[in-house]
Chains A and B, each alone.
Chain A
Amino acid sequence: MASPVEQFTIKPLVPIHVAGIDLSFTNSSLMMVAAVLLPATFFWFATARRTVVPGRLQSVAEILYEFIANMIRDNVGKEGMKYFPYIFTLFVFVFLGNMIGMLPYSFTFTSHIAVTAALAVAIFIVVTIIGFAKHGTHYLRMFFPHGAPLATAPILIPIELISYLSRPFSLSVRLFANMTVGHIMLKVLAGFVVALGIVGGLMPFAVVLGITVLEFFIAALQAYVFTILTCIYLNDALNMH
Chain B
Amino acid sequence: MPQFDFSTFPSQILWLVITIFALYLVMTRMAIPRLAEVLDQRQKMMDDDLEQAERLKSQTEAAIAAYETALAEARAKAHAEIRAVTEAADRATAERTAEVNARLAVQIKDGETRIVKARDAALANVREVAATVAQGIVSRLAGLSLDTKRVDGAVATALKEHGR
Minimum C-beta distance from A55 to chain B (A): 11
CB neighbours (8 Å) of B5 from chain A are 10
**Docked pose: A52 CA to B41 CA in angstroms:** 7
Minimum C-beta distance from A11 to chain B (A): 10
* CB proximity to B under 8 Å, residues A38-55: 39-40, 43-44, 47, 50-52, 54
**Docked pose: A194 CA to B3 CA in angstroms:** 26
Minimum C-beta distance from A139 to chain B (A): 26
- Is B88 an interface residue when CB atoms closer than 8 A count as contact? no
CB neighbours (8 Å) of B10 from chain A are 21-23
Q: B16, A89: Cβ atoms under 8 Å?
A: no
**Docked pose: A66 CA to B15 CA in angstroms:** 29
Known: A22-B7, A39-B26. A9 touches B19 (CB 8 A): no
CB neighbours (8 Å) of A47 from chain B are 30-31, 34-35, 38
Minimum C-beta distance from A132 to chain B (A): 23
Q: B27, A89: Cβ atoms under 8 Å?
A: yes
**Docked pose: A180 CA to B24 CA in angstroms:** 26
Q: A112, B35: Cβ atoms under 8 Å?
A: no
* CB proximity to B under 8 Å, residues A60-112: 61-62, 65-66, 84-86, 88-90, 92-93, 109, 111-112
**Docked pose: A163 CA to B114 CA in angstroms:** 139
* Dominant SS among interface residues on chain B: helix
**Docked pose: A47 CA to B24 CA in angstroms:** 17
- Using a Cβ–Cβ cut-off of 8 Å, how many residues does chain A contribute to the interface with B? 51
Q: B7, A32: Cβ atoms under 8 Å?
A: no
Closest residue to B41 on the A side, CB-wise?
Answer: A52
- Is A36 an interface residue when CB atoms closer than 8 A count as contact? yes
Q: B19, A32: Cβ atoms under 8 Å?
A: yes
Known: A52-B38, A114-B9. A23 touches B30 (CB 8 A): no
Q: A36, B38: Cβ atoms under 8 Å?
A: no
- Is B145 an interface residue when CB atoms closer than 8 A count as contact? no
CB neighbours (8 Å) of B22 from chain A are 36
Known: A39-B26, A40-B30. A62 touches B3 (CB 8 A): no
* CB proximity to A under 8 Å, residues B1-33: 1-5, 7-20, 22-24, 26-28, 30-32
- Is B42 an interface residue when CB atoms closer than 8 A count as contact? yes
Minimum C-beta distance from B78 to chain A (A): 52
- Is A216 an interface residue when CB atoms closer than 8 A count as contact? no
Known: A22-B7, A24-B11, A114-B9. A9 touches B27 (CB 8 A): no
Q: A119, B2: Cβ atoms under 8 Å?
A: no
Closest residue to B26 on the A side, CB-wise?
Answer: A40
**Docked pose: A84 CA to B32 CA in angstroms:** 9
Which of A21, A32, A39, A109 is within 8 Å of B31, CB to CB? A39
Residue pairs across A and B with Cβ atoms less than 8 A apart, 10 shown, are A25-B15, A26-B12, A28-B8, A43-B35, A50-B37, A52-B42, A88-B31, A93-B19, A112-B3, A118-B13
> Which 4 pairs between the two chains have the least Cβ-Cβ distance?
A43-B31, A29-B15, A47-B34, A32-B19
Interface residues of B, Cβ cutoff 8 Å to A: 1-5, 7-20, 22-24, 26-28, 30-32, 34-39, 41-42, 45
Query: Besides the contacts A50-B41, A52-B38, A58-B38, what 10 more A-B pairs have beta carbons closer than 8 Å?
Result: A6-B2, A32-B18, A35-B19, A43-B31, A62-B35, A85-B24, A93-B20, A114-B9, A114-B16, A119-B16
